[in-house]
Structure 1
Amino acid sequence: MRADAQKNRDHILAVARDLLSSGGEEASLRDIARTAGVGLGTLYRHYPTREALLEVLLHDRFEALTARAVALKAEVSAGAALVTWLRETVAIAHDYSGTIRSMVAAIEDEGSALHASCVAMKAAGTRLLLRAQEKGEARTDMDGADLFAFVGALSWVADQPALAPRSDHVFAIIADAIVTTQAKSAV
């Protein structure tokens, strides 16, 4: 890639990251191009869809969450690993406010640029949940889809100005409902 094209690409990513992480969840590709000072054609050449742009922005974070799930299995109890991973996943979803809708849709849409990353991240969380359930450290009446729904709900709470101050408390309530009494002493 030519140096000027790479510079444009990097600048577009930086602008998109700033817009999406500062409450600009409804920012369109046109808004991102305008803010980046590039033509819409330039943006579309690099990122033909919003999902393609989100994939580039979120891919490394999702891979890190997937790797983190593996590391947590070796570091702490199953219940503690699950809660830690859930907290970190909610934080990333909150960092890119408004992207949870795209993440949820990508799980079901194999054609989405976000599909593979979202499925891998969800699978990593599901493995942590299953391990905690097998060890008797998590309730058994939930699955990975429920866990992913909690990520969406908890990141939504943190995005609401009136509820944001309560987001840690709400997270603790949800975590307490997931992790069984037996595992609570380890968390």
Structure 2
Amino acid sequence: MAARQKFMRLLPGRLVGQTVEEGRNKQTGYVLTLQTREQHIRRERATSNICTNQSLLAVGATIFLAALGKQGFREMSELCLQKAHYAFRQITTIPGFAAAFSSPFFDEFVIKTPVSTERLQQHFERVGILGGYPLDKSYSGMENSMLFCVTETRTKEDIDLLVNALKEVQR
């Protein structure tokens, strides 16, 4: 499809751009580009029949869960639990890194860090890791605390890479 620049924002539907992930994975990704904001907030002014991302995401989630089935959903959940607890155990063996809370968790946990979360994020970026949400940016009293989430999509190698990066940042 082709259009003059001045007509690009008047096209019905969405324009999809292709990109390649930076870092070690180099996976191809697709993003919606040049979509008008009205498509998400006002149905009557939308230029496409997909008016809200919420509906589109709900359909995608429904299809995913239906494809997994009851047993597949259980297996995926167990993988999340096992991998998150493996990551937690490995991280909390590193001197200076400790659990922020003692309560049970499923696939997310908070770690108190001996260095600033900003320094951690900079180090993660250098080694190609997108990980950990710095809680001190959003919550008072959570200085040097980072939220980690581990799902079924992470491999043992991914988790070990994260653990090694945390060890390196202290040197």
Give the TM bin, normalised by the shorter chain. Answer: under 0.3
TM-score, structure 1 as length reference: 0.25
**TM-score when normalising by structure 2:** 0.27
- Which has the bigger relative contact order, CA under 8 A and spacing at least 6? 1
Q: Decide which structure has the larger Cα Rg and report it.
A: 2
**Larger strand fraction of residues:** 2
